[in-house]
Structure 1
């Protein structure tokens, strides 16, 4: 299930504080074209500069000099790319696949770029480039070898290696088909395991490890593009709860060509391969293997010379395993860094390569969110955590022995960190409820070095951003919950206002934080006279594994209990009209919107549900659904209780459903089944459909969708 993304449109453009004579935030302002912002930093190997893309331009920022310069425009490369014919069928490659279009060589003298489907090598000094490929096919997922002599890529389900000096291209795999994919992920792995690639170079540049997916057993979902005279069938491989997953195996191929050696991982059809990492000596691999319901993770050590494997570590969990990217090799491959939620919170541990725990490095009733970097020569680990507050994120460092933990970031709020490879500098993307985002470069000691990106205060003078307040809510059992509140424009004490509960509610997401929310749809509705309320119920992220585990094997019920506590608290504040409360969310939030309307009709008068996943949890994908509900055959009652389609006759309020017809994440089938159930129950509702091939609604249709939702609440709550 896609996590909600806090909308930060205009966020770097709209400062807080200055509100006099400003315009209200409107749907037009949200959907207007804006200048592109700098993309993520791609650090050079020496850690003293980084490249970034802004629109079509590639820039280089020199950290010691505090200066940037333009390197090139991608338009020039795209003009030289060879364009092939348009594909006959739409490619349902998951949007979470993170192909690197900008990469440094290990020497720092070249940048590998992907433009127009072809590959280019750019030389920052003195400038200029060379084209590596000129084919009608697209070279997917390109990667420079660690020694900078070769580039690997995927083309038509096969892996290739290109020798840069000779331009010789070698096909590394030979056995692909329409359903057997080498070095290519299926749809569900990147969606639910957040795996972004399926091949990895060995440190010595002599071998490539890759995953092979046999998707023949995955059922096809029958999408169709209905905008043509004759509709075009666009089937998508989409395994639903209880369906077979792809068969996955891991091989190692010589980079210059030769026979693949398959690793003996014993990955049965009901197992998942979640992560892979090379040992520094290029002789071994660490693979993370999950059982199907994802409550046991094994770290497997494989010998690439023989293909033999052995289990290094078994990580069981009474609920489910949250996969992460914290594994780091240490001490020349004799040790590794690991994180575990075994005590209810995600913390860092150091292990020997034979699976012996050497030290627990962090502990407490807070969680590690991310390992920013490991400075092994300096004996330090840099990580981001919630130690200061579950509403904030800060950068810390701790020794490899777990001693001397120190917070580096200053200022209450949320800090997102990009650490340079030498741990000499890091970029801090910071914001808070009162401070719009800025990106500041710091030294490893936390000292501010340079401002990379500051808010555009001049543009921000146009709009009035109504303040967002964090409201603590104590549930009836004493549990402390957090909500955020926006009072309507022109708020007057003693007056009653309609309120909209903005909801996501699902696992793996936290929507109430000390960060800048900027100009978003909440602001639009607050300027139209609505109270905006959003609460993070138990089951959400940021408060530890025990906190989120309450929804295990039943989805919707515990979330709604806390949401009801929040609404009652909101009503007790005296300005929200209890007879005019609506609810709105998309994806899991769309599911919660319909679930809440059917289970708590006494609280909610109207609801707008976007891409409601899931009306019947049998319809959703294997990995996500089975993680939380288990297999349908083992938990039939949990599936039934969690599926609102069975309670269509309980609808009493007004309901709007909007959905893309070719949603790749939440199949439109969910909405169709809800429509059928409502019609059979004699219930009236509103429906808006969009002919897009995605989970979110973008382009001109996004403006239409926002106007539809706004109009719905204007009609039903005012």
Structure 2
């Protein structure tokens, strides 16, 4: 006899406890060199500690390779963080910053003994050596428990390697970041009964920036070859070495991202040339990706020069881009199958909220969709492109790994099943997608709407809009996954709230012209997009117009405050987490949208985009939540706003989280339950009474 799923209101203990009712997210899929085995990190019992699991292509079975999580209790570290396949079926992995080696029989041994702070491990092409970062130094070690590690590039306090990749010839290409002249800030805070002070490298608009350069070094050490650009403060979005090793590209842009340049270097002489350059005065997203063509002749460039982010062939220096794909949809990223002259890519061609896997010939032509189920697909390809691991999720399904074969005949196979049995015994909220239009410029947008049980569009429901942010329209469990807001969304829906995630300008997928209105428009175009969503849903009977609340964190907190300050009476209540109230204290990269410092109008522009200067309009219920150790959005900025609101005679509430950083909802489950409990109680009080 089947059991009817429960529709009883959820509790935060049900949603945010260990083991987790939705299970443990499987992560870090890596294929063995022969493509016969898939390794990944997971816990099949829903605990936080992840071990290494192996799925075998021939047997089509999975098994745990390590058992280090046995006996671990709640609150302990989250387990193995990285893995890399080596020769003879061995796997290197990182546990709490230490490097280990596990044989195919599951025997674990320490590797590079004494090396601390290990991250970013990557095996050589033949699997006999491992490169990794130790702190910010680049190191290698032979795949032997007795081998001594070798330092290739030394790191110091403010200078070190931030990323690297193996080249086909066995050398290593890397990016060195130099923060010697970057601003350092101290954040004082109180925690556990003590006064503390932490120091961070943290630049603000107008400051000197991190200087970056690309280097190349042989895996056995030796002198570094440096490839310098005209301005070391320009961003680096990608780099790579040609198949024959004779050329290296660097995809770069100025701080504003309005000028994109691909530099090409002769690796033997070091000679530099401009292979490609483009200027776009309205660009606000650096979604570029560049790779050498499989034959090494020219580049494959992902760019929105034709209005949407699409693939192009760039056959030579100064040549015109040759479109490979086109259409009113966008590509997020791509991978090259050199042997088949084929490109695989992720795109939203089917629906704005979906991401599917597609293939196209290197020469262009017909595009083939490879994934079937609606939702979000994130692939990890086998080295021979015979299959890919597909991390799949949709609105009703927490993420799981599947393996999809690229022979076109074999059905995808599910590798993991993460939720606990209790998950199937609950009735989870339904989700639907509602289109709406901007009243400003008529642009098409869409909202992800989570519905309470037995919902009827009768105009009586309270509605919570949030967490508001860019790139929030995603058909996956929980929608936007930066915060664990899947639980608060489900909790509110179970309590009778309609929960809405609106699409806003500045997001991926709709093209350059669609995003144009967001330029210099923090707290202007974005909050109009949110308001148009609310107006549309009220008109369709989804909510009582007098019982609409709004919440978001960081940039979402800025939008929450701006919405309340500029549109008094439109919302009944707003909850702002770690709100970016003052863009003078943003990261310099926010200049993509808000514009750079300098010029006669920049003070007016920055004031117009900072909630701190619009607080006089507050007339509705407001709660601000902020951690005192936040280096991304300064707690001092919240204090400045609090002082201003007090001087203006405004009523509001402040929730302070001692010693907590920017990701206040992810620090630990106790804090998650407390913070989201405050949010839920706030909306219960102001939207239901």
TM-score by length of 2: 0.88
Per-residue deviation, residues 438-482 of structure 1 (Å, max 9, x unmatched): 543222144414221347584223322122221122344543321
Would you say the 8 A contact 2:257–2:286 is kept in 1?
no
Would you say the 8 A contact 1:370–1:383 is kept in 2?
yes
What residue number does 1:121 align with? 101
Per-residue deviation, residues 333-352 of structure 1 (Å, max 9, x unmatched): 22322111012110001223
Per-residue deviation, residues 498-538 of structure 1 (Å, max 9, x unmatched): 222224243xx133547675952122112223232332133
Instruction: After superposing the two structures, state which structure 1 stretch, 328-337 or 231-240, moved more.
Output: 328-337
Distance 1:247 1:486 in 2: 44
What residue number does 1:348 align with? 311
Instruction: After superposing the two structures, state which structure 1 stretch, 660-669 or 32-41, moved more.
Output: 32-41
What residue number does 1:10 align with? none
Name the SS for the 2:545 alignment partner.
strand
Change (3 A) 1:716 1:428: same
What residue number does 2:83 align with? 102
1:429 shift after superposition:
3.4
Change (3 A) 1:137 1:523: closer
Distance 1:317 1:289 in 2: 14
Change (3 A) 1:333 1:594: same
Name the SS for the 2:89 alignment partner.
coil
1:223 shift after superposition:
1.7
What residue number does 1:62 align with? 56
Distance 1:114 1:537 in 2: 38
**Larger relative contact order (CA 8 Å, sep ≥ 6):** 1
What residue number does 2:571 align with? 604
Change (3 A) 1:493 1:643: closer
Name the SS for the 2:447 alignment partner.
strand
Instruction: After superposing the two structures, state which structure 1 stretch, 362-371 or 660-669, moved more.
Output: 660-669
What residue number does 2:355 align with? 393
Match of 1:568 among 535, 553, 566: 535
Change (3 A) 1:254 1:374: closer
Distance 1:555 1:263 in 2: 36
Change (3 A) 1:505 1:283: same
Change (3 A) 1:515 1:550: farther
Match of 2:325 among 335, 356, 362: 362
Output aligned runs, 1:417-428, within 5 Å: 417-428=379-390
Match of 1:443 among 405, 414, 417: 405
Name the SS for the 1:349 alignment partner.
strand
What residue number does 2:160 align with? 182
Answering whether residue 583 of structure 2 is matched by residue 617 of structure 1, we say yes
Would you say the 8 A contact 1:482–1:512 is kept in 2?
no
Instruction: After superposing the two structures, state which structure 1 stretch, 115-124 or 577-586, moved more.
Output: 115-124
Would you say the 8 A contact 2:443–2:514 is kept in 1?
no
1:394 shift after superposition:
1.7
Change (3 A) 1:397 1:329: same
What residue number does 2:165 align with? 200
Would you say the 8 A contact 2:227–2:265 is kept in 1?
yes
Match of 2:637 among 657, 670, 674: 670
1:491 shift after superposition:
4.4
**Unpaired runs of 5+ in structure 2?**
43-48, 73-77, 480-484
Change (3 A) 1:531 1:422: same
Answering whether residue 38 of structure 2 is matched by residue 73 of structure 1, we say no
Distance 1:234 1:170 in 2: 32
Distance 2:645 2:93 in 1: 51
Change (3 A) 1:516 1:561: closer
1:608 shift after superposition:
0.4
What residue number does 2:114 align with? 135
What residue number does 2:45 align with? none
1:651 shift after superposition:
0.8
Aligned length: 658
Distance 1:65 1:397 in 2: 28
1:243 shift after superposition:
1.1
Would you say the 8 A contact 1:663–1:694 is kept in 2?
yes
Answering whether residue 460 of structure 2 is matched by residue 496 of structure 1, we say yes
Name the SS for the 2:641 alignment partner.
helix
1:148 shift after superposition:
3.4
Change (3 A) 1:565 1:231: same
Name the SS for the 1:200 alignment partner.
strand
- Superposed CA RMSD in Å reads 2.8
Answering whether residue 585 of structure 2 is matched by residue 628 of structure 1, we say no
Per-residue deviation, residues 624-650 of structure 1 (Å, max 9, x unmatched): x11112212233322111111112121
Distance 2:321 2:532 in 1: 44
1:597 shift after superposition:
0.2
1:235 shift after superposition:
0.9
What residue number does 1:91 align with? none
Would you say the 8 A contact 2:130–2:141 is kept in 1?
yes
Answering whether residue 248 of structure 2 is matched by residue 285 of structure 1, we say yes
Would you say the 8 A contact 1:535–1:566 is kept in 2?
yes
Would you say the 8 A contact 2:284–2:506 is kept in 1?
no
Distance 1:108 1:266 in 2: 45
Would you say the 8 A contact 1:666–1:695 is kept in 2?
no
Distance 1:315 1:245 in 2: 23
Name the SS for the 2:544 alignment partner.
strand
What residue number does 1:26 align with? 11
